[in-house]
Amino acid sequence: ACDHCLRALETAEENAQRLLGKSSLVLPHPEQCSIRKDLHQQCPRCQVMYCSAECRQAALEQYHQVLCLGPSRDDPTHPLNKLQEAWRNMHYPPETSSIMLMARMVATIKQAKDKEWWIKAFSQFCSKTANEEEEIVHKLLGDKFKGQLELLRLLFTEALYDEYLSRWFTPEGFRSLFALVGTNGQGIGTSSLSQWVQACDALDLPMLQREELDAFIDQLYKDIEKESGEFLNCEGSGLYVLQSCCNHSCIPNAETSFPENNFLLHLTALEDIEAGEEICISYLDCCQRERSRHSRNKILRENYLFTCSCPKCLAQADDADVTSDEEEEGEGETDDAELEDEMTDV
């Protein structure tokens, strides 16, 4: 994916071939693929790929001058490579935080002419108490979180230390920064294949051709799921000031999406919203929202450190604080599966 905006760089056909492990696969209606490979560019120093000249320039102006590895891209002893390798070894995707999103925050400030503007922008995101920060870090890194967090801090300092931001490199400051990204990071998912499917759905086709195309797509997704599992998107995370202000509800009146196949977030109303009415999104996925109040709040407490008091939860307040056998079987998977947030834009 584009190193700046996370737009998929593979064509829909290439994407499907990789996920299916079948290089001979041919997709019908290739003209419905939106990927423009002729526009792709790479950094001339480190060969990081971008979807366009605009993204390459935007990255260079915002943070890439600090983060560009140049000829050291494949050098395992380079401080940034050591940092990324340590992160990969202690955390598994899908990620609710990313060390490289934190790195881009630091790099952005280091490159900025108006450093205080960026510091104030990042300070708008909600913060936690010291105990809450420890809970978040524990959730992200596991039982060995204190040792792992200190290792990350030392590597982060070696790679990116800046006197102007010295407080971010102290044990307390680094923990706060880590918790900020873990709490406020918004997951991003992009896919050239899903974009192609949406474009095909909009085609005006004769009934027989429509049925054949729908059957082809249904079978394609079944085959891909068998081969590659559920995680099919290019995944990342970003920090969004307005979106992060939206509180959770188990019956949300809005939802986030990325219909432009990049990091541009759309917040879409699910129903009519009156002037002055609070806009709420759900921090849970569709399946999690259908679980019992007890199960929903267990997930929310572990990932976001709060108990929900939305109308649905209040209406179910007298329900027993137990889960069904089916939910108990699924909770182990839910507890270990991070709510999808990872890295890209700042």
pTM comes to 0.81
**Strand positions, DSSP E, the chain:** 41-42, 49-50, 186-190, 234-238, 247-248, 254-257, 266-269, 280-281
Report which of 68, 73, 90 is spatially closest to residue 151, judged by C-alpha positions. 90
State how beta strands 234-238 and 247-248 pair.
unpaired
Count CB atoms within 10 A of the CB of residue 174.
Answer: 21
Residue position matching structure tokens 């790195």: 103
* Number of residues that this document lists for the chain: 346
- Could you tell me which CATH class the domain 236-346 is placed in? mainly beta
The reported pLDDT for the residue numbered 167 is 92
The reported pLDDT for the residue numbered 143 is 66
* Residues with pLDDT less than 70, the chain: 91-97, 126-131, 138-144, 321-346
Question: In sequence order, what are the residues at sequence separation of 6 or more whose Cβ sits closer than 8 angstroms to the Cβ of residue 199?
Answer: 29, 32, 33, 34
The reported pLDDT for the residue numbered 181 is 86
DSSP structural state of residue 2: -
Q: How confident is the model over 260-314, as pLDDT tens digits?
A: 999 999 999 999 999 999 999 999 988 899 999 999 999 998 878 889 999 999 9
The reported pLDDT for the residue numbered 231 is 74
The reported pLDDT for the residue numbered 164 is 92
Cβ neighbourhood burial of 116 (10 Å; 0-12, 13-18, 19+): exposed
Listed as own residue / partner, the contacts of 334-339 with beta carbons closer than 8 Å and 24 or more positions apart are 334/288, 334/299, 335/299, 335/302, 337/94, 338/94, 338/95, 338/96, 338/140, 338/303, 339/96, 339/187, 339/283, 339/284, 339/303
DSSP structural state of residue 296: H
Report which of 116, 99, 113, 98 is spatially closest to residue 65, judged by C-alpha positions. 113
Report the C-alpha gap between 125 and 242 in whole angstroms: 9
Report the C-alpha gap between 181 and 167 in whole angstroms: 16
Tokens of 162: 């800046």
Ordered by start, the domain boundaries in the chain are 236-346
The reported pLDDT for the residue numbered 146 is 78
The reported pLDDT for the residue numbered 165 is 93
State how far the alpha carbon of 23 is from the alpha carbons of 17, 27, 35, 255, in Å.
5, 11, 18, 36
Element (H, E) at 293: helix 293-304
What angle, rounded to 10 degrees, do the helices at 192-201 and 12-20 form? Answer: 120
Question: In sequence order, what are the residues at sequence separation of 6 or more whose Cβ sits closer than 8 angstroms to the Cβ of residue 223?
Answer: 20
Cβ neighbourhood burial of 88 (10 Å; 0-12, 13-18, 19+): exposed
